[in-house]
Structure 1
């Protein structure tokens, strides 16, 4: 029997190295990530919103988001996880309905965050998602519960780690499959967190962090970039347009291997 995308995705969190998860935002970035060898891909909510002309933070209309997800799934042959911010509602039942729709489309994982809200609310959303998926016998789902404690605590106080441990324990008990802690950089805190929480942990790669191999030894099983790949790609675009408009001729704009024929063939025959 062929292994399912969910089984593939779940197994990638159990290997002898961390899952390196490129954050994509549209069909083209999804195709390029897969062609580069990514075993799975995940969206960045910020990157998806920006690519469609909306600000991050719940401003992207759900129907537009769903259409973007459908375009990504159309060209994807690896597991796909979707960032849904806080679920776009304070009503756990509505969040569960959205997640069920994503599962029906073929999504195998989600990121859902507590943001500036209470841990109890995210706990209730996770419980509602699990209850709905179980009752309707929907396909399995990897729920990556994100806590923004370190992002909201600019000083990374000693209380931050304690709060993160408490929140992730609640989310795991509610049915989360993994925990995502953007903003956590400290190797000491990382090791302590991995000792306290048994589900796979995900960090956002940031400047100054240890290499993936060291992070795996510390207990981290998944690494992602957030919107960094989008920002890097569009920074190149912005800089070259600025140079062109100032009557410069940046010849390095042609210094790449993404030829017309390569990209067109990739669109016709996704790798």
Structure 2
């Protein structure tokens, strides 16, 4: 498949009630392992990619290193690859679009872009975030690629009190509609785990809704019944693998 065909395939895998499941990777080795396990597409997790290079999340990893990591994956894997791109390394629409273009150049067919202000406080106003999405869509359309822009809202991640999530749903729906109108392909609501609230957002969204697995979240079959179109695992796979590595190493060193 060429890049356009990969992007088309990736988009077609997002179906409400029959979600694509993405077990997030962070390098070429994990990409191969997940591909061999039967994945239909691949997606990086920004937290995991940064941690694998010794950095914290939040665009602490330099963009050249991230681009090279993406290239190392697309060089050896034929599956569609989406990149968790945080805030696109630029607050400005044209800067964000130019940075995403660098990922397109090395074979990516989609991104996550979040509406929190990286290295700042709070979220971008709706229209400003929509302008960033619109610029990225314009860049991709200019290249003739049906690039998948997974528009993420950090409303729920920013609120640690789960009891307050119900009060954020209307704003989330408003943001989702604005991001869709700007050219978004999917709507990502990490941090939200309440089944009734997930179902409400799925019903209101014209875009396939992405839920991230975390402690307390419904299982895959339940999320499908709620209308979710994409399920991702975020930093979970990295944390699990690193814990196993530490346990195995500790078992060896305890014998010395």
Q: Which position in structure 2 is the counterpart of 1:4?
A: 5
DSSP-derived class of the 1:149 partner: coil
In the superposition, the TM-score normalised over structure 1's length comes to 0.86
Q: Which position in structure 1 is the counterpart of 2:194?
A: 186
Q: Which position in structure 2 is the counterpart of 1:121?
A: 128
Shift of 1:151: 0.8
Q: Which runs of 4+ in 1 moved over 6 A?
A: none
Q: Which position in structure 1 is the counterpart of 2:75?
A: 74
In the superposition, the TM-score normalised over structure 2's length comes to 0.91
Shift of 1:246: 2.4
Alignment of 1:93-108 (within 5 A): 93-108=94-109
**1:243 aligned to 230, 233, 251, which one?**
251
Cα deviation 1:167-221 (Å, max 9, x = unaligned):
1111111110000101111111011111111110000012222222221121101
Shift of 1:15: 7.1
Distance verdict in 2 for CA 1:163–1:93, change over 3 Å: same
Cα deviation 1:8-55 (Å, max 9, x = unaligned):
111111376210111000000000000000000100001001111111
Shift of 1:162: 1.3
Alignment of 1:151-166 (within 5 A): 151-156=157-162, 157=164, 158-166=166-174
Alignment of 1:139-158 (within 5 A): 139-156=145-162, 157=164, 158=166
Gaps of 5+ in 1: 249-271
Q: Distance in 1 between matches of 2:171 and 2:222?
A: 24
Q: Distance in 2 between matches of 1:227 and 1:137?
A: 31
Q: Distance in 2 between matches of 1:71 and 1:129?
A: 23
Specify which structure has the bigger relative contact order, considering alpha-carbon pairs within 8 angstroms and separated by 6 or more residues. 2
Gaps of 5+ in 2: 117-121
DSSP-derived class of the 1:14 partner: coil
Contact 1:104 1:138 in 2 (8 A): no
Q: Distance in 2 between matches of 1:120 and 1:239?
A: 47
Contact 2:17 2:228 in 1 (8 A): no
* Count of residue pairs the alignment pairs up: 247
Q: Distance in 1 between matches of 2:110 and 2:137?
A: 13
- Residue 37 (1) aligns with residue 43 (2): no
Alignment of 1:167-206 (within 5 A): 167-206=175-214
Q: Which position in structure 2 is the counterpart of 1:130?
A: 137
RMSD (CA atoms): 1.7
Q: Which position in structure 2 is the counterpart of 1:111?
A: 112
Q: Distance in 1 between matches of 2:6 and 2:199?
A: 30
Question: For the pair shown, which has the larger CA radius of gyration, 1 or 2?
Answer: 1
User: Which stretch of the first structure deviates more once superposed, 182-191 or 212-221?
Assistant: 212-221
Q: Distance in 1 between matches of 2:57 and 2:161?
A: 24
Contact 2:24 2:45 in 1 (8 A): yes
User: Which stretch of the first structure deviates more once superposed, 223-232 or 150-159?
Assistant: 150-159
Q: Which position in structure 2 is the counterpart of 1:54?
A: 55
